[in-house]
Chain A
Amino acid sequence: MAMPAARKMTSLESIYLVELFKGLALTMGHVVKNLFDQNRFVTIEYPDVRKTMAERYRGAHRLLLRPDGKVKCVACMCCPTICPAKCITIIAGEAPDDPAEKFPVEFDIDMLRCIFCGFCVEACPKDAIRMDTRIYEVNAYTRQALIHNKTYMVNLMDGIKPPAEEFYRLNPESAPAGFVSSPSASGAP
């Protein structure tokens, strides 16, 4: 591969000190500005303060339910097929009384492998999986806990499961559309 030719420095740049002071001036400019107007801080005091994530932000996956309370997913295997990180594991089973016939006995996403590309959402023919939770704090103390299973992903928006969801509960205006904050959930740690 051909490397691009290095840009030649101008004579002012090659003196170095001029550029150094320009940089210091920029920093000092921010310091002075922040001293007098603290509302224009670029940084926020995370985790006490959080940004409102964009509507289309791809967060942790959730599984959607049909009106009758069963998962929409029929284990068609489109998402594990398209997944470039091969992080989705589905074991299909037969539902004897369900007209959908097929359902996922197990539906695991290894969040350590997931690259949040959103292909699974695109590939789903049943609108069974979405990444509209805007949950970006996918963290846990063990690796095992980072393999999100079916129950976890179904209940993700109930506000019980992820501890970091407290903020959405306290600030409903920045919570995603499907977020339900039930009274019992709001008291949970």
Chain B
Amino acid sequence: MPKVKINDIEVEVPAGTNMIEAAAVAGVDIPHYCYHPNLSVAGNCRMCLVDIVGGRAPEIACNMQARDGLAIRTDTPAVKKMRQSVMEFMLVNHPLDCPICDQSGECRLQDYYMEHGDYDSRGVEEKVSKKKRQDIGDKIVLDAERCVECSRCVRFGDEVTGTGDLRLMNRGDHTEIGMFPGERLQHHYQGNLADICPVGALTNRDFRFQRRVWYLKQTASICSGCATGCNIQVCHQEGEVFRYLPRRNDAVNKSWMCDEGREQVAGISGLKRILRSRVDGKTVDTEAALIALAARLKSATHVGVVLGSQATNEANWALLQTVRKNLKSARIFVTAGNDPGSFEYADKLLVDTDKNPNSAGVDLLAAFDGQVESWEAFGSAVADLDLLLVLEDDVVGRLAGRRTAAAIAYLGVSRNATSEAGSIVVPVCHPVEMDGSYVNRQGRVQRIRRAVNAAGDALPAWLIVDRLGAKLGVAPGTGMVAAAFNSMARAVPQMRGLEFKTLSEAGQQLIVETAPVAPTEATV
């Protein structure tokens, strides 16, 4: 691997690494607008100009590949002057929109002006005005004046979505970004345009004027919209979640996420949330509901339990353990397919047909147990069951009118056909309200983290099941999320050696690819 020097700091980087990334390894920040790690190099912003030691002229770091003996300097007076000049050039036609611009607080122009610009304005001429507040898509508002022509959005359309919709038009200081006449953005990844735009030219319509970004706290988590398991930052303030941002993980979602994933923010505090426990139509506290549920589980002859591919590994593990330890005759099922009513779109980029974030995790636990029955077996058995315990899965909706069990107990986040049919309903935390882990479609274990407090009486599912286990006789010992995960990791061979505490931000690829769904007819 080539060794390069950045400001006399020597680092060894893989061949082909550009000098912005190499400098980041050395702890040196090279300012840039047009360079993006997941897009091709355009080299048109000129902000990353650096001096080459022994070189003839400055060069852009983003297009400079590491080679042995290469030494650059970012602290020479010439580099400082270049950065200042580039800033001045970019800001010469930039409107003073900061008070109304949603990008304020995470704007590269603001940050780099304070760091590298810092000059007195020499502007005497009128700024070139362009069209503001353009409606170019359902999710994006374009302000052509604020654009610095970095062409990140153009490359995103060309390289990631392949739609090629945004273009740079006209010349000189009249250059502006825009769509072809009469066209609007059609793809499902529009939100990313607002994320990659280093300034406020492309902003998110859903987040528009909602909150200033400097108020928002960020919690690293996983999107629960589909089986892809995109890494996200949950942006929240005072217990309210305002947006999801993609978190870079080149093994899963690079720097992107889909619009449907972002839209899930609306469901967190939405009207459909279950807030209180309910037994036979009466609102009770969760403790009373669990006592009633334990009593009914004990007295019922034919008990069925459905593992939830919407729920975390910990919750499913807790449920599996509780049922196996306390209810010897109970039959456990997995579900397959989508929730009816969830968004139906899927593509090859990120959006998966399976809208459950943890199908692979449930399959893994089902394979470990060996006795778990399939969805087909469930379909034929459900009508004979006295009591069906469902974990976060719209079973009734999936059955689509077919006969279901005599009684249903539902542990879930939102109201749906199953919760309406349920005689006992216990509220469960939304994924942003609890800790846990999912296994995505690649067989990668990834952590979700609690960002905000639970709505209403909702509790994490692993805790509810643990309390239920204590009332049934033997608690599964999953009262703490780390304990639940660690006991699962000790038992399940594919997870061996993992520990909840040390699970990295980027997740952990499991030793074996996800196991196939448990055998079906053999166990029925």
Contacts and interface: CB of A to CB of B under 8 A. Distances in A.
B180 interface: no
Contacts of B345: none
Contacts of A126: 99
B100 interface: yes
A126 B100 CA distance: 11
A144 to B, nearest CB: 22
A13 interface: no
B298 interface: no
Contacts, number: 30
A102 B209 CA distance: 7
Interface residues of B, number: 12
A94 interface: yes
A102 B99 CA distance: 9
A188 to B, nearest CB: 36
Task: Determine which residue in A93, A101, A102 has the highest number of CB atoms from chain B within 10 A of its CB, and name it.
Answer: A101
A125 B98 CA distance: 9
Contacts of B98: 76, 125
B133 interface: yes
B105 to A, nearest CB: 9
A81 B133 CA distance: 26
A81 B104 CA distance: 13
B212 interface: yes
B209 A92 contact: yes
Interface in A68-88: 74-78, 81
B209 A76 contact: no
Nearest to B96: A125
A102 B100 CA distance: 6
A100 interface: yes
Nearest to A73: B99
A31 to B, nearest CB: 59
Contacts of A92: 209-210
Nearest to A96: B133
Interface in A105-156: 125-126
A76 B214 contact: no
Interface string B311-347: 0000000000000000000000000000000000000
Given A77-B212, A81-B215, 4 more contacts: A75-B209, A92-B209, A94-B209, A101-B132
Q: Which 3 A-B pairs have the closest CB atoms?
A: A76-B99, A102-B100, A92-B209
